Chains A and B, each alone.
Chain A
Amino acid sequence: MSEEKSVQKFQETTMEVVLKKVTEFRECGGLHLPADYSVENAMRGAWLVLQDLKDKSNMPVLQTCSRESIANALLDMATQGLSVAKKQGAFVQYGNKITFQREYFGNIALAKRYSGMKDVHGNIIYKDDVFKYGVNAETGRKYIIQHTQEVSNIDFTKIVGAYALVMMEDGSTFLEVMSWPQIQQSWKQGSTKGESPAHKNFPDQMAIKTVVNRALKILISSSNDAVLMENIETNRPIEAVKEEIKQGANSGKVIDIPVEDEEIQTPEVVEEPVVESTVKPGKGKDLKKEEPKEPGF
């Protein structure tokens, strides 16, 4: 019981510290988070995951891992604008340290957010498929010439490769192709060496993940943070903006209240027209002389 309580308390304080840090960074302009990202939700979600996370000896990681590493992992997640609850990444334990590792869905989320990617599709190439691809001699980009597949071709023992086709918002495409030995080689880099139940039972799904991740890697790592700056349309030179302010400020017509307003007694305005408006002499010379239009529905 006391153990539970201490975990609980630990959670609250660490959580507060990290959220406070994030707020501090944001307030002093040291951190830009995506506008559509709720850092509070992501943090709470992450805590739910962390609470259930146990290490190899079945101890809760909240007890065995250092508080600093937990705070850093959370901060890492937040600065990337990702959510563990959405499986966009995972907390991985190394010794007494927790780190945040971005995963497949996180890669897709980041590529969509930052690099102008519209969509990405991965497919498996089986032995009896007709698959031809070429390389554009001008751009060096690969493209699919043909891919036809029979349902009877689908056989996990006959995978010859996989590809990922990335569609960008500007209409261009980007193809990444990997052969089966390449895919298996990349699996050997992982902790399970490609021997996990997922790899064994669903090699097609895992192969697609692998090739999609590879395709997105270059998009994400080479992206800029324009999205965070949120000023795509105001990317004008500051001098131009200043000039516009100088020209525009305090140079327009006078706005004033119609003179008769004192007599207007309209408790329910919606239906009733305002008493005809005239304008004080010498003021509001451009105000329309016509009856003020009652706002319509």
Chain B
Amino acid sequence: MTLMVLGSESKGNCYLLESDSGVLIIEAGIRLSEVKKALNYDLSRVVGCLVTHQHGDHFKYAGDYAKAGINIYASAETLAKSETIKHRGIKIESERPFTVARHTVVPFNVAHNVPTLGFLIKHPEMGKLLFVTDSAFINNKFNGLNHVCIEANYDDPLLMNDRAIGKHMSIDTCMDFLRFTDMSQVRNIVLLHLSSGNSNASDFTSKVKKISRFATVHVADRGLKINLNLNPF
């Protein structure tokens, strides 16, 4: 299982989880042509696309993906914002597990200014992956995570008055979550949505590294590709 980052910023978000059972796309904020390029122009392996919420940088191209035959898994509120997804839209609800190919996905509500979901995804190859972006904080708790993709958007003292507060996660809130969560089995931490203007990527990375000594900390730069296999060899 590999995770590939096609975009992780307010201009557009898109992540690919690629394994033997196909490619699961998370977020539809990057043009379909870019996705095709990343997949060597073979969309047949795509098993679906999970979308967290309706904002353009996560949802803008969902209609195009749907037209290409990709099922879009999103909340009813999110799907209602698009007229082009039509029958490819699959409504999901917080805390109602479902499967996409061999991925078991549990969506849960997070705190943004529009209805937004986070995802707990399990696949035999990679174990449990937590995916949370565009959320001021995480209310739920999780056990036995193997990979954590989490937003670290801004540094508190840097911008007290910014619009990010209440909608995005500060590095402090992010670290509180990691401290609170059982990190013993976490191999990878991927910091999402590190907006270059708001935050200091290397500073954040070193902060997070201090908390989780056994995990590798990555910044979700465009083009980042990491191995999520439970057995790395």
**Chain A: residues with CB nearer than 8 A to chain B?**
26-29, 229-231, 233-234, 236, 238, 241, 244-245, 248-258, 261-262, 264-267, 269-270, 274, 277, 283, 286-288, 292-297
Contact = CB atoms under 8 A, between A and B. Distances in A.
B91 A255 contact: no
A231 B167 CA distance: 10
Most buried by B among A27, A245, A252: A245
Contact of B90 (A264, A283, A296): A296
Given A244-B111, A269-B100, 17 more contacts: A27-B196, A29-B162, A29-B198, A236-B166, A241-B165, A245-B137, A248-B139, A251-B139, A256-B143, A264-B102, A267-B21, A267-B102, A274-B99, A283-B143, A292-B97, A296-B91, A297-B91
A233 B111 CA distance: 14
Contacts, number: 135
A236 B161 CA distance: 10
Nearest to A265: B102
Interface residues of B, number: 53
A249 B198 CA distance: 22
Contacts of A234: 113, 163, 165-167
B78 interface: no
A243 to B, nearest CB: 11
A54 B73 CA distance: 55
Contacts of B181: 250
Interface of B: 21, 47-48, 71, 73, 87, 89-93, 95-102, 104, 106, 108, 111, 113, 120, 122, 124, 128, 136-144, 159-163, 165-167, 173, 176-177, 180-181, 196-198
B197 A248 contact: no
B136 A288 contact: no
A277 B177 contact: no
A266 B173 CA distance: 37
A255 B95 contact: yes
Contacts of B97: 257-258, 261, 274, 277, 292
B102 A255 contact: no
Given A245-B173, A262-B124, A297-B89, A269 B95 contact: no
Contacts of B165: 234, 238, 241
